[in-house]
Amino acid sequence: MDYEKLAQVMRKLALEAGDVIMEIYNSDDFEVKSKSDESPVTAADENADALISAGLRAAFPDVTLITEEQSDSHSEKASTFLIVDPLDGTKEFINRRGDFTVNIAYVEDGKPTRGVVYAPAKDRLFITDASGKSYEETAPFHKDTVGAMTPMSVTTPDNAALLVVASKSHRDQATDDYIGKYNVKDMKSAGSSLKFCLVATGEADLYPRVGRTMEWDTAAGHAVLLGAGGDVIRFDDHSPLTYGKADYANPFFIAYAPGVDLKKA
Query: For residue 28, with 0-12 CB atoms within 10 Å meaning exposed, 13-18 middle and 19 or more buried, which class applies?
Result: exposed
Alpha helix (H) residue ranges in the chain: 3-25, 43-59, 90-94, 173-179, 194-200, 215-227
Annotated binding site for Mg(2+): 68, 85, 87-88, 217
Peptide bond before residue 140 is cis, with ω within 30 degrees of 0:
yes
Question: Residues annotated as binding site for substrate?
Answer: 68, 87-90, 217
Binding residues, as ranges, are 68, 85, 87-90, 217
Please calculate the CA angle 146-148-154 and round it to the nearest 5 degrees. 115
Cβ neighbours around 240 below 10 Å, total = 12
Judge contact between 98 and 210, C-beta under 8 A.
no
Nearest to 134 by CA among 157, 110, 154: 154
3-class SS of residue 128: strand
Q: Which among 201, 199, 227 is positioned nearest to 132, based on CA atoms?
A: 227
8 A C-beta contact, residue 90 and residue 41 = yes
Beta carbons of 89 and 108 less than 8 angstroms apart: no
